[in-house]
């Protein structure tokens, strides 16, 4: 499995005139060795090395597969070790790295290095069997979390309590929690007017009769992320919100149906947006329709306006329209799906409006 991924990366790098691939990004190190942590992976035609520091050394030796793990000496810089291993061996395609490291590498290797963050993303886009199995398992756990949410959502419970209970259950169920820079928490629990912010912060607000409650779960299984959202209703909800829920639901269904191999990504966004526009809510659908998911919460391809990327079989993407009425309510429905002829979301939890 790692062999195949490394070969695909080397093949992609050859198109850029390079014969070595290197990355210092934990996701990419994990993708090519099975170790998630600090270090630099260097992939050559004759073998792969993982260079790391004493802090990570023992864990890296235990977890990294089919590669030489080389640990720098205490007090020595990992940068020097990296330069030693890639100099004069050919031309390197390096993943994006910190500016300071980029400067030293460029100074040492001159024309023998290029920096291309898209190389790994282009290969990581198409998921293999093992990756799909991990995302599917994350999806099954997310379904369990929604079952649990539908039991504990009650008038009077605070957003923070609800989030804490769901996070605890996620971790106990074998999930890890991804980091995602745009929000301070890995999951969003937003009720009533707070849900009109697509990236709502957690508050101490107590749920009350008539609320819509958005629960956006982003959990990781074995490295791989599922990103999914359900919006629940509580008690006597108003007719406008019910109507909006049905619009979001039908827009999301069309999005899933449209996301097939060979379709240009912007078409998925357009089909979804057309439905919401036709109902007069276009100005309240304030984000793109979806994004790729994998080792990152957000990765290519992007399903938004003007996205010319062509969807391919075994792309894993989200479809997540939402309508957000300021100061009133917000509704989003999101699934992570695999792009194939008969597309099925990884999460099976029902999308019919559930009034608790």
Among the residue ranges 42-50, 97-105, 117-125, 311-319, the one whose residues contact Mn ion (CB under 5 A): 311-319
For the bound state, the minimum distance from the C-beta of residue 228 to Mn ion, rounded and expressed in Å, comes to: 8
Nearer to Mn ion, 93 or 187 (CB): 187
Contact between 318 and Mn ion per CB under 5 A: yes
Among the residue ranges 152-160, 201-209, 250-258, 310-318, the one whose residues contact Mn ion (CB under 5 A): 310-318
Q: Which residues pair with 225 in a beta bridge?
A: 220
Nearer to Mn ion, 227 or 269 (CB): 227
For the bound state, the minimum distance from the C-beta of residue 22 to Mn ion, rounded and expressed in Å, comes to: 30
Site map (CB under 5 A) of Mn ion, residues 211-230, x = contact: ----------------x---
DSSP symbols for 218-275: EEEETTEEEEEEEEEE-SS--HHHHHHHHHHHHHHHHHHHH--TT-BHHHHHHHHHHH
Q: CA 215 to CA 221: how far, in whole Å? A: 19
For the bound state, the minimum distance from the C-beta of residue 115 to Mn ion, rounded and expressed in Å, comes to: 28
For the bound state, the minimum distance from the C-beta of residue 290 to Mn ion, rounded and expressed in Å, comes to: 7
Apex 93 CA angle, 89 and 99, nearest 5: 110
Q: Which residues inside 247-266 make contact with Mn ion, applying CB under 5 A?
A: none
Site map (CB under 5 A) of Mn ion, residues 179-218, x = contact: ----------------------------------------
Nearer to Mn ion, 37 or 186 (CB): 186
DSSP symbols for 183-218: SSSSSEEEEGGGGGSTTPPP--PBP-TT-EEEEEEE
For the bound state, the minimum distance from the C-beta of residue 318 to Mn ion, rounded and expressed in Å, comes to: 4
Nearer to Mn ion, 252 or 318 (CB): 318
- For the record, the structure tokens of 295 come out as 């080792």
For the bound state, the minimum distance from the C-beta of residue 236 to Mn ion, rounded and expressed in Å, comes to: 30
Whether the Cβ atoms of residue 350 and residue 247 lie closer than 8 Å to each other: no
Q: Closest residue (Cβ) to Mn ion?
A: 227
Cα atoms found within 13 Å of the Cα of residue 127, Cβ hemisphere only: 28
Nearer to Mn ion, 131 or 299 (CB): 299
Q: Which residues inside 112-151 make contact with Mn ion, applying CB under 5 A?
A: none
Return the number of other C-beta atoms located less than 10 Å from residue 16's C-beta: 12
For the bound state, the minimum distance from the C-beta of residue 227 to Mn ion, rounded and expressed in Å, comes to: 4
Contact between 347 and Mn ion per CB under 5 A: no
Cis peptide before 301 (omega within 30 of 0): yes
Listed in sequence order, the residues at least 6 apart from 201 whose beta carbon sits closer than 8 Å to its beta carbon are 183, 184, 185
For the bound state, the minimum distance from the C-beta of residue 140 to Mn ion, rounded and expressed in Å, comes to: 18
For the CA atoms of the chain, what is the radius of gyration? 22
Nearer to Mn ion, 6 or 220 (CB): 220
Q: Exposed (0-12), middle (13-18) or buried (19+): which is 19, by Cβ within 10 Å?
A: middle
Q: Which residues inside 8-67 make contact with Mn ion, applying CB under 5 A?
A: none
Nearer to Mn ion, 44 or 304 (CB): 304
For the bound state, the minimum distance from the C-beta of residue 182 to Mn ion, rounded and expressed in Å, comes to: 10
Q: CA 110 to CA 230: how far, in whole Å? A: 51
Name the one residue in this structure whose structure tokens are 């282009």.
122
How many residues in the shown chain lie near Mn ion by CB under 5 A?
A: 2
3-class SS at 113? strand
Q: Which positions lie near Mn ion, rule CB under 5 A?
A: 227, 318
């Amino acid at each position: 499995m790692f062999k195949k991924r490394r070969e695909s990366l080397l093949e992609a790098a050859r198109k850029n005139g390079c014969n070595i691939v290197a990355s210092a990004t934990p996701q990419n190190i994990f993708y090519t060795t099975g170790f998630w942590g600090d270090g630099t992976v260097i992939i050559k035609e004759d073998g792969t090395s993982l260079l790391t520091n004493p802090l990570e050394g023992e864990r890296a030796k235990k977890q990294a597969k089919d590669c030489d793990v080389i640990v720098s000496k205490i007090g020595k810089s990992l940068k020097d070790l990296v330069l030693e291993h890639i100099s004069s061996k050919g031309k390197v395609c390096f993943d994006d790295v910190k500016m300071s490291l980029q400067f030293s590498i460029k100074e040492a290797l001159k024309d023998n290095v290029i920096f291309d963050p898209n190389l790994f993303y282009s290969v990581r886009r198409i998921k293999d069997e093992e990756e799909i199995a991990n995302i599917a398992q994350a999806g099954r756990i997310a379904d369990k979390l929604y079952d649990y949410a539908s039991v504990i959502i009650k008038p009077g419970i605070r957003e923070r309590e609800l989030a804490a209970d769901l996070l605890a259950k996620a971790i106990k169920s074998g999930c890890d929690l991804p980091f995602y820079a745009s929000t301070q928490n890995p999951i969003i629990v937003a009720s009533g007017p707070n849900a009109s912010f697509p990236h709502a912060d957690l508050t101490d607000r107590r749920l009350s009769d008539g609320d819509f409650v958005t629960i956006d779960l982003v959990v990781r299984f074995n490295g791989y992320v599922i990103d999914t959202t359900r919006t629940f209703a509580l008690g006597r909800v108003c007719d406008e919100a019910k109507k909006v829920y049905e619009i979001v639901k039908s827009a999301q269904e069309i999005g899933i149906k449209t996301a097939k191999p060979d379709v240009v990504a912007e078409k998925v966004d357009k089909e979804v947006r057309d439905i919401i526009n036709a109902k007069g809510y276009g100005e309240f659908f304030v984000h793109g329709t979806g994004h790729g998911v994998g080792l990152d919460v957000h990765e290519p391809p992007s399903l938004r306006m003007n996205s010319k990327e062509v969807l391919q079989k075994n792309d894993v993407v989200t479809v997540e329209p939402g309508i957000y009425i300021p100061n009133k309510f917000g509704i989003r429905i999101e699934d992570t799906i695999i792009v194939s002829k008969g597309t099925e979301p990884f999460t099976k939890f029902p999308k019919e409006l559930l009034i608790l």
